Amino acid sequence: MSAAVANVQFLSGVKIVDLTQFEAGPSCTEALAWLGADVVKIENPKMGDPGRRLRPGQPDNDPYYFHVFNANKRSMTVNLKSPKGLALVKDMIRQADVCIENFAPGAIERLGLGYDVARELNPAIIYAQIKGFGEGSPYEKNLAFDMIAQACGGTFSVTGEADGPPIRPGISLGDTGTGMTMAITILGALYKRRETGEGCRLQVAMQDAIMHYMRINFATQGRTGQVVGRAGSKVPGISNAPMGLYPCAPGGSNDYVYIMTSRANPDHWDRLLKVTGREELIGDPRYLTPQDRVDRQDEVDDIIASWTRTRTKHEAMRVVGEAGIPAGAVLDTMELQNDKTFEDRGIMQVMRHPVHSDFKMPGWPVRVNGKPPAIRSSPVLGEHTDAVLGEWLGLNAQAVEVLRAEGAV
């Protein structure tokens, strides 16, 4: 464990039966795992979480997707179609604090592990479900993946050039964004349960969760009364200049710097003119007020761009940022991966895996007493079957062997 990270045990002793797959569910339980919960992934013995193999028919040489959403968890294989396997999971639910699933609509009930069953087994269970669309929605039976939830939740409609088609935001907010709202609610329920001992049912839909992240667009619509459109690198519905991306040297596809002057702070414009060597324009009536600059936005953008084009994005960010004006270089995945300072600070960590190669990936971003939680490897399929059956259910090696011979685990 690197000196930059710590063994965070906020949730030590919290037992989670994790029936999730792909990303929306696993991102939720991973957050809880980073904070010390005992998250046991229940996986089918044959293939496991389909997120382990996104390229069917190819050997399992593509573990990255699984790594990034399943760090710090344990894996137990169970055949849910076998009566003994199903009984094992029921026994685990009796011991658990949380049970969570994100199967297709209706599937968990067909497996015989729906909320009504779980509550009978354990009235204190916190039972969490993630679906694409909400109960009562016209689409409640539909399947969803991240991009479907983002389309139906509005993010495409506000992303793209003003005169271009909708664009997918390049992050899987429909999945991980949803997982975050469920993790928060599970933790609230766990906190309360320490007083009351009572369980509950929690449900979230990906489309609904996207609405949470879209709030600022609903605020803009409230103010303007108009549907919110697209604005390229700017913010739809907000008029401000200078604001946006400015091209930098040497002109590569990500050689841009974002510069944002505040309308509430007139100093920003004057300072920007100074650092870009255009002091003669300080006080120029053409660009005096925020409204003047919006009215002459193209001229303003040219003034800034003629300077940024002669600087790298890193230099532009440094110089403008040091002048107290918010500025940020557009960094790509390789630049972020290769930036040693993330590793030094524990934000990127190397996963050392018993089977696969070392892999550097983002960990949990919040520091606890100065250090983020330490990464542990994502589990090999079934790696912890014996250990979990022993620790959770008191089964010895012989009993596990019998279950294995019967095809239950």
What are the phi and psi torsion angles at 248 (to 5°)?
-125, 170
Based on CB atoms, which residue is closest to a second copy, 165 or 397?
A: 165
In whole angstroms, give the CA distance from residue 242 to residue 60.
Answer: 49
What are the phi and psi torsion angles at 345 (to 5°)?
-95, 0
**Residue 290 Cβ vs a second copy, minimum distance, rounded to whole Å:** 9
**Residue 391 Cβ vs a second copy, minimum distance, rounded to whole Å:** 20
Based on CB atoms, which residue is closest to a second copy, 121 or 151?
A: 151
Based on CB atoms, which residue is closest to a second copy, 331 or 380?
A: 331
> Angle 397-405/385-393 helices, nearest 10 degrees?
120
**Residue 90 Cβ vs a second copy, minimum distance, rounded to whole Å:** 22
**Residue 46 Cβ vs a second copy, minimum distance, rounded to whole Å:** 14
Based on CB atoms, which residue is closest to a second copy, 16 or 403?
A: 16
**Residue 387 Cβ vs a second copy, minimum distance, rounded to whole Å:** 24
Contact assessment for residue 95 and residue 392, using Cβ atoms and an 8 Å cutoff: yes
In whole angstroms, give the CA distance from residue 115 to residue 200.
Answer: 9
Which of 18, 38, 97, 175 is catalytic? The answer is 175
Give the sheet arrangement for strand 327-329, strand by strand: 243-247, 256-260, 327-329
Q: Which of these, 3, 38, 39, 43, lies nearest to 22 by C-alpha position?
A: 43
Q: Tell me whether strands 74-77 and 38-43 are parallel, antiparallel or unpaired.
A: parallel
Concerning whether 292 is annotated as a catalytic residue, the answer is no
Based on CB atoms, which residue is closest to a second copy, 260 or 282?
A: 260
319 burial via Cβ count (<10 Å: 0-12, 13-18, 19+)? middle
Supply the residues annotated as catalytic.
175
